[in-house]
């Protein structure tokens, strides 16, 4: 019950701390026969990596090493471990917070639960979003496996500050937001850059809404009644540090809608379809085969360059804290990749539970189909 693992048949366990030697993930339940390389994992990691002026300035190469579960370039069906070294930790930046828990971060909650003497204050240790690099590494495998059914997961920043993209853009635009420094669609990139630039100069931060679309999801994923697809997606997405809201389909807009406004027509064109896909691809907790449409809210980053009030742990007296160090002015920019990964991991697990992705072994033909689609997927947007 340690809470470091996720999934039933496709199970991940992440390990490592922000300023420890390395971060990593063990993925158990990858079927044998999947072609997989360090480069495949890096392809996804690079979209989460810090390194441009709109995100944290921490310089991490994020070069992954697959250290088990591979033979002759293919998975063996055995636990697959991936290691990513921490190259640029700066523990000195955290000397002040050693005695001053950051309001808005996980510090005080970890101190209370695990003890002040055991608290890894260097970047928040395990509660740091550095852990999410391991999720994206596992997510790369999940995204590859989903291609067996031609399923693709892609997200973008839909709203932040006074930017709000009302209509869901077309899927290719969403997918290609991965090339954007601020992780939104091309036509809104400049606007979002202005927002982030301004907020960074003010030493402040801003929240955001991210929309994730799953194209060509298999139908019939999700189990009644507690392992619904929607419940598992909510769990996966809300486990991302800094995520404070989840919705799918019409979501929180429901409060102002009438039943007559959200009626959807079922029709048949060789399979059952929905005219408007109002339910966001999930009904009764089971996927309908229509695109799955999810939205999450990221809070404004709590570590900002403004004085904050807290408690000095040495004397329990009020004190102030000025946070130095490298922080994301908008978590969502790098958070989109993490969110895509969590959705992909959940979908693969459910696809295995439903028998849509083999649990044990891929045939040569399946392996070749995945590899061909993966190359096409990587080349998109170049
Ligand atoms: C990709 C990513 C980057 C993040 N970067 C920062 C950061 O630079 N500074 C910060 O205070 N929080 C950052 N966060 C959020 C914290 O990790 C999070 O607020 C903290 O762990 C407490 O968890 P909670 O907000 O879910 O309660 C980031 C989150 C993600 C997903």
Do 293 and 211 meet the contact criterion of CB atoms below 8 Å apart? yes
Q: Which of 3, 54, 105 to mutate to test the pocket of ligand 1 (most atoms within 8 A of CB)?
A: 105
CATH of the domain at 11: 3.60.150.10
Does 60 contact ligand 1 (Cβ within 6 A)?
no
Q: Report residue 325's pLDDT band, with 50, 70 and 90 as the boundaries.
A: low
- Establish whether residue 18 lines the binding site of ligand 1, counting it when its CB lies within 6 angstroms of any ligand atom: no
Q: Residue 13: pLDDT above 80?
A: yes
Domain range for 266: 5-379
Residue 134 CA to ligand 1 centre (angstroms): 15
Report the mean per-residue pLDDT for the chain. Answer: 95
Would the CB of 330 count as within 6 Å of ligand 1?
A: no
CB-ligand 1 contact for 241 (6 Å cutoff):
yes
Q: Given the CA of residue 56, which atom of ligand 1 is nearest to it?
A: 8
Please give the pLDDT value at position 21. Answer: 93
What mean pLDDT do residues 48-56 have?
A: 84
Pocket residue to mutate for ligand 1, from 100, 109, 242, 340, most atoms within 8 A of Cβ: 242
Cα 130 to Cα 15, 84, 185, 194, 206: the distances in Å are 11, 10, 25, 26, 19
Q: Assess whether the C-beta atom of 338 lies below 6 angstroms from ligand 1.
A: yes
Question: Could you give the percent of the chain with pLDDT greater than 70?
Answer: 98
What mean pLDDT is predicted for residues 64-73?
98
Q: Specify the number of domains making up the chain.
A: 1
- State whether the beta carbon of 339 lies less than 6 angstroms from ligand 1: no
DSSP 8-state assignment for residue 380: T
Please answer whether residues 236 and 311 qualify as being in contact, where contact means their C-beta atoms are separated by less than 8 angstroms: no
Q: How far apart are CA 344 and CA 321, in angstroms?
A: 38
Q: How confident is the model at residue 339 (pLDDT cuts 50, 70, 90)?
A: very high
Cα–Cα distance, 298 to 332 (Å, whole number): 6
CB of 132 within 6 A of ligand 1: the answer is yes
Model pTM score:
0.97
């Amino acid at each position: 019950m340690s809470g470091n693992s996720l999934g039933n048949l496709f199970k991940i366990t992440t390990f490592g701390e922000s300023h420890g030697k390395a971060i990593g993930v063990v993925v158990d339940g990858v079927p044998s026969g999947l072609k997989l390389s360090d480069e495949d994992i890096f392809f996804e990691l690079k979209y989460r990596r810090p390194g441009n002026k709109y995100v944290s300035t921490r310089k991490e190469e994020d070069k992954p090493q697959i250290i088990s579960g591979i033979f002759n370039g293919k998975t063996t069906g055995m636990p697959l471990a991936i290691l990513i070294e921490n190259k640029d930790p700066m523990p000195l930046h955290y000397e002040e917070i050693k005695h001053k828990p950051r309001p808005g971060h996980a510090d005080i909650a970890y101190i209370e639960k695990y003890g002040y003497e055991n608290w890894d204050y260097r970047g928040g240790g395990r509660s740091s979003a550095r852990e999410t690099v391991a999720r994206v590494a596992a997510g790369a495998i999940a995204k590859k496996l989903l291609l067996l059914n031609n399923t693709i997961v892609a997200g973008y920043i839909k709203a932040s500050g006074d930017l709000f993209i009302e209509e869901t853009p077309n899927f290719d635009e969403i997918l290609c937001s991965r090339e954007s420094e601020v992780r939104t669609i091309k036509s809104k990139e400049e606007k979002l850059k202005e927002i982030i630039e301004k907020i960074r100069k003010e030493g402040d931060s801003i929240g955001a809404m991210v929309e994730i679309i799953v194209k060509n999801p298999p139908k019939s994923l999700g189990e009644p009644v507690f392992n619904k697809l929607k419940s598992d997606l909510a769990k996966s997405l809300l486990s991302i540090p800094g995520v404070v809201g989840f919705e799918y389909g019409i979501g929180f807009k429901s409060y102002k809608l009438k039943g007559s406004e959200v009626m959807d027509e079922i029709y048949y064109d060789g399979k059952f379809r929905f005219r408007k896909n109002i339910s966001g691809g999930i009904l009764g907790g089971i996927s309908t085969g229509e695109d799955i449409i999810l939205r999450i809210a990221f809070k404004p980053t709590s570590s900002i360059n403004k004085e904050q009030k807290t408690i000095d742990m040495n004397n329990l007296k009020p004190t102030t804290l000025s946070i130095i160090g490298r922080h994301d002015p908008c978590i969502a920019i790098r958070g989109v990749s993490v969110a895509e990964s969590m959705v992909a991991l959940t979908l693969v697990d459910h696809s295995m539970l439903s028998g849509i992705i083999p649990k044990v072994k891929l045939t040569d033909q399946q392996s070749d189909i995945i590899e061909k689609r993966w190359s096409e997927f990587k080349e998109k947007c170049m």
